[in-house]
Amino acid sequence: MSETTSRYLLEQLIGFATVSRDSNLELIEFVRDYLAQLDVECELFYNAERTKANLFATIGPRDRGGIVLSGHTDVVPVDGQAWSFDPFKLSEKEGRLYGRGTADMKGYLASVLAAVPLFVEAELQIPVHLAFSYDEEVGCLGVRPMLAVLEKRKHKPLLCLIGEPTGLKPVLGHKGKLAMRCQVIGAPCHSAYAPYGVNAIQYAARLINRLEEIGERLAQPEHHDARFDPPYSTVQTGVIKGGRALNIVPAECEFDFEVRALPGFDANEVAEDLQTYAQAELLPRMRAVQSDVDILLEPLSEYPGLATPPDSETARILAMLCGSEEFGTVAFGTEGGLFNHAGIPTVVCGPGSMDQGHKPDEYVTIEQLRGCDSMMERIARYAAGPMPAIG
């Protein structure tokens, strides 16, 4: 397997500016055409507007489950970031390959694609599946239609390797996430008569304070899981807006908050606590002044955590394929929890580091890309060997 091929493919992938707000179809069509040249058929799963698509392809026998090599095609924006290089043109300096998505996670995708000829030439006993998604960066949204189909198939995949940047160390766990928007509808009046209005900002502040109290409870030692950093579920408010002018009691205020939940903790408990507090404590006071005020909670996105048992057969197999039993966890989320929820046990392992992700001058080292190519070669040998028992 040629390092030159991985680098060439990474250069092509970086050239597609697949920021989540934009289409990924040019990249998907490039991958589809590349696979077609190797006689590999693929399926596309479009969004409702047909502006984006997931791609799924199978190499090898179709009468049994196999290994999914999964990754997302979208990247975060470069707006406002001071890059030393063109973010959508691959650049090399001192053993590093720079460009938006090199680490997160087009380096992995390039290595997977570079291995396709190897997979095609091998007489695979179990299939290797490629699953490339969209809109991972905005809440792991795009992969869901594809997973809904795979989950129902007679021969659904048996395990999954997601190539998020982990320094090629297998990751068995990450937190889940719930993102919510809270809208407070108050009653405006002249600020000289503030007691006769319902100040939406002040009530939003009470709700945010409640979230802080919930976060403090979750941070107590009895809720810790030492495998994670920080070792507890967290709650934070990230966006707030409201009010029109200082001399008007504000009629509206909204804020967005998120819960990063340890595996096993239901993040919706936080939203339910906030809703109960709003209904029992705040709305009666607000409606004592004016009846048509309200507090509304709206989910923005949600994905589950991942907790693959380190002593499981899946962990053993994927550790062998990754080339390391140095299991770990990460603070960021992945699509792994969704694959696992669909009954496809998952490990996260890919080239690069998330320390470089989402930043200007994002990069992956040539050494890490070379290591990922070696991982693909191990996968090819494993899938071509005697029919293994996976479960």
The per-residue pLDDT for range 265-311, each reduced to its tens digit, is 999 999 999 999 999 999 999 999 999 999 999 999 999 999 988 88
Q: State in words which class domain 176-303 has.
A: alpha beta
* Tens-digit pLDDT profile for residues 115-172: 999 999 998 999 999 999 999 999 899 999 999 999 888 898 989 999 999 999 999 9
| Active-site hit among 11, 39, 63, 74 | 74
| Active-site hit among 22, 94, 121, 136 | 136
Is residue 74 annotated as part of the catalytic site, yes or no?
yes
Q: Where are the domains of the chain?
A: 3-174+305-384, 176-303
CATH number of 3-174+305-384: 3.40.630.10
Residue 1 pLDDT class (50, 70, 90 cuts): low
Residues 6+ apart with CB under 8 A from 168: 322, 323, 324, 349, 350, 351, 368, 371, 372, 375
Is residue 294 annotated as part of the catalytic site, yes or no?
no
Residues 6+ apart with CB under 8 A from 8: none
